[in-house]
Structure 1
């Protein structure tokens, strides 16, 4: 390595985690350190738009399924597959550990981004997409599988961001475009409002300055 990482960084953040950044920086520990901090900065800049997308998706799908089944706890009668039922059971148990009475709103908040995205998978085409869920995307006229692929990619991105994993190697500009494209399918108004507050483009444009040491990362 060209430089050594500070001892406190190895102690507090761990070499196994930092080693991935050292490799990406081709052994230059000082560059790896800057890359690590920029990764946090850019991940933080994605949280707002991912937040809007996840909430808009689950509320749109939940609303459509409530209207279709005529009850707020639609998951008790909907034709979920084994994985879907398991995720519902997991959410119910998690809610039960925190409160005596679980409401449908509690369940909606507890069910994961991955669960909601799974409702658009091919196995649910006839059960969910064709009869009801297509109406949850009023500004989309494309194929279900294209939408599902976009959302699956964003679930992976969201999980990496929320679990503090590297995202610097991804095509982040394309990821960001996908977030707003899918958000626009759900709500043009929310997409416009979120974009006006979004600092991700500035953070992405400043990557080279951070990695060159011309600007300190901020998060």
Structure 2
């Protein structure tokens, strides 16, 4: 039912309650809808660099742990905690359901494991078992303090999750998020980071926020 506060299409499909948070941030209903579109635009722009970061992290950590334990399914003998072991088991089950013509490979399981799984491997819980003997080597340009690295990757994971669940990110310090993302990508693979920067449109979209919300440009997904 249209309350009269929003166009019928917006009330019905986007939800007036959801749009009200944008109205508060933008200072009005018309600007709220434009901010909503810009939020999608900037979320889409972040998707590519975040994709590179997540895939680079999981492959780097997988490579280091595979070398440490001497087998591609290192999780079979590594001292994962109960939650980590559960996530691996869930990933194996999902692979088994999706791939019914052959056994799931280690690469299948690696691709199925969540960003959160890989970020947790950098936590204090695994400092002596994974970080000290193996995972610090996943960052060829140096990593700094493990706890700082874990904190920064956690920030990126939360940003990625908000984008994946279509949540607002316009209120975040997105310039700082962008800088953190590429700083981490530089640590993992400087060549990939340089390539991603050539394709990155986040800085351009950030600069266009004011004009978009003022109605001076039309955002693009």
Instruction: Report the TM-score when normalising by structure 2.
Output: 0.95
Contact 1:4 1:30 (C-alpha < 8 Å) held by counterparts: no
Residue from 107, 110, 115 that aligns with 2:109: 107
Q: In the alignment, what sits opposite 2:58?
A: 58
Q: 2:80, 2:25 → 1: CA distance?
A: 42
The residue number in structure 2 matching 1:162 is 164
- In structure 1, C-alpha distance between the alignment counterparts of 2:93 and 2:16, rounded to whole Å: 36
- Equivalent pair of 2:26/2:213 in contact (CA under 8 Å): no
Q: 2:212 and 2:142 mapped to 1: Cα distance?
A: 38
Which residue of the partner structure matches residue 21 of structure 2? 20
Counterpart-to-counterpart distance in 2, 1:20 and 1:93: 39
1:36 aligns with 2:39: no
Contact 1:56 1:186 in 2 (8 A): yes
Question: Could you report, residue by residue, the CA deviation over 1:155-191 in whole angstroms, capped at 9, with x for unpaired residues?
Answer: 0000011111100000000000000000000000000
Deviation at 1:96, TM superposition (A): 1.6
Matched, 1:140 2:146: no
Question: Following superposition, which runs of at least 4 residues in structure 1 exceed 6 angstroms of deviation?
Answer: none
Determine the structure 2 residue equivalent to 1:8: 9
Question: What is the root-mean-square deviation in Å for CA atoms of aligned residues?
Answer: 1.1
How far is 1:83 from its partner?
1.1
Give me the whole-angstrom Cα distance separating, in 2, the residues matched to 1:14 and 1:89.
Answer: 38
Q: Structure 2 unaligned runs (5+)?
A: none
Size of the aligned set, in residue pairs, is 216
Using the TM superposition, give the Cα deviation of residue 23 of structure 1 relative to its aligned residue in structure 2, in angstroms: 2.5
Q: Name the stretch that deviates more: 53-62 or 92-101.
A: 92-101
Q: Could you say which residue in structure 1 is the equivalent of 2:82?
A: 82
TM-superposition CA deviations, 1:32-88 (whole Å, max 9, x none): 101100000000000010000000000000011111111110011100011111111
Equivalent residue, structure 2, for 1:71: 71
The CA distance in 2 between the partners of 1:191 and 1:144, in whole Å, is: 21
